Amino acid sequence: MTPMPDIMRLDSSPYQRFLGLVLESSGDGEVVIRLPFREEFLREDGSDWLHGGITSALIDIAGAYAVVTKFNAGVPTIDLRIDWLKPARAGDLVATGRVVKAGRRVSLADIEVRDAQGTLVAVGRGLFASPTVAP
């Protein structure tokens, strides 16, 4: 088994450790990241809806890591658009990020988020600053 490059480790960020993210798979321009459910992610007490901020964080991270697979370097987010299609209910979420364009200055990724039943709950598009010098 090939060791994971340090740049692809999700546990190198305190916020990502807090979220408990799991990198399910990664390849050239694509990642699949799972967000294990925690009660703290619920919108309010007594609700089974996840807070939209959790979904948006997952979209941002999945888009960035998809771009990282192209450059092997970290990339900051320039712009992020999210469309929530239906409420994400209690349970794990899985995000698939795919690079649309890896450019010299900016890169674009599309992200889909599905709930534990496989239902599409949100889509996103992220614009990321490409590294100035490819490693």
Say if 1 falls within a structural domain: no
pLDDT at 53: 95
- Range(s) of the domain holding residue 10: 6-129
In the chain the first and final C-alpha atoms are separated, in Å, by 23
Question: For the segment 18-49, what is each residue's pLDDT rounded down to a tens digit?
Answer: 999 999 999 999 999 999 999 999 999 988 99
Residue 64 lies in a domain: yes
- Residue 44 belongs to some domain of the structure: yes
Total structural domains in the chain?
1
Q: Is 105 a residue whose pLDDT tops 60?
A: yes
Higher pLDDT, 8 or 28: 28
The pTM of this model reads 0.92
The answer to the question of residue 109 being in a domain is: yes
Predicted confidence (pLDDT) at residue 1 exceeds the cutoff of 80: no
Tell whether 135 is covered by a domain. no
Decide if 67 is inside a domain.
yes
Residue 78 is assigned to a structural domain of this protein = yes
pLDDT band at 4 (very low <50, low <70, confident <90, very high): low
Q: Which pLDDT belongs to residue 9? A: 84
For the domain that residue 124 is a member of, what is the CATH number? Answer: 3.10.129.10
Q: Evaluate whether residue 108 is within a structural domain.
A: yes
* Residue 8 in this model has a pLDDT that exceeds 90: no
pLDDT band at residue 7 under the 50/70/90 scheme: confident
